Amino acid sequence: MIAKNVIPGIGGYSSIFERIDSKIGKLFMAIPSVKGVIIGNEDFSLTGKQYHDEFIIENNEIKRKSNNAGGIEAGLTNGENIEITVYLKPIPTLGSPLNSIDLKTFKENSAPYIRSDVTVIPSSLVIFENALALILMESIIERFGNDNMSELKRRYHSANIFNWNDGFGENHDR
């Protein structure tokens, strides 16, 4: 799953509860069937030098040469796409049931065939997309305020502009 066009600086680093990656892990791992969440590159054999994303200038903008961090560094979005891989456990319904125990007789027996789930992947994608949208929106509101949508949008879109105006009468030089 990929979230595009998220500005840098959403989230936090001073508390584990502000970190975007902590929020993603917490909510995604609470979704039934989820057994693993990876943000960024799944290749755990990379060395530190290979993994870290170098800076480059592209079209007169500072970018990253790669996105191994998956758009999140130190608990904050870094301006690159947020890339998340979610691992789900296999569905519990099997055409050839596993051995089980009959709790009434306390004897080994085959588990009953109850229903025919085909796959949870299509429906889970909708859940994951909405979970990520919720996490990002909550974090954006935490950073830019929640007084009204037009002010929120103005603050969000001006956040990367030099001398941005947060609406409190101060200009912030970067």
Longest dimension (CA), the chain: 76
Q: By residue range, what is the domain housing residue 164?
A: 2-113+120-172
Number of domains, the chain: 1
- Secondary structure of 118-134 in HEC code, one letter for each residue: CCCHHHHHHHHHHHHHH
pLDDT number for residue 160: 64
Q: Which residues pair with 64 in a beta bridge?
A: 55
Residue 79 near residue 8 (C-beta atoms within 8 A):
yes
Question: 20-29 and 121-144 helices cross at what angle (nearest 10)?
Answer: 150
Q: Are 101 and 108 in contact (CB under 8 A)?
A: yes
pTM: 0.79
Instruction: Return averaged pLDDT per consecutive 10 residues of the chain, 174 residues in all.
Output: 92 92 96 94 91 91 91 94 94 78 90 72 92 95 86 81 54 50
β-partners of residue 82 are 3
Q: What is the CATH number of the domain that holds 22?
A: 3.60.150.10
The rounded distance, in Å, linking the Cα atoms of 112 and 98 is 9
DSSP code of residue 171: E
Dig out the tokens for 44 from the structure: 């755990």
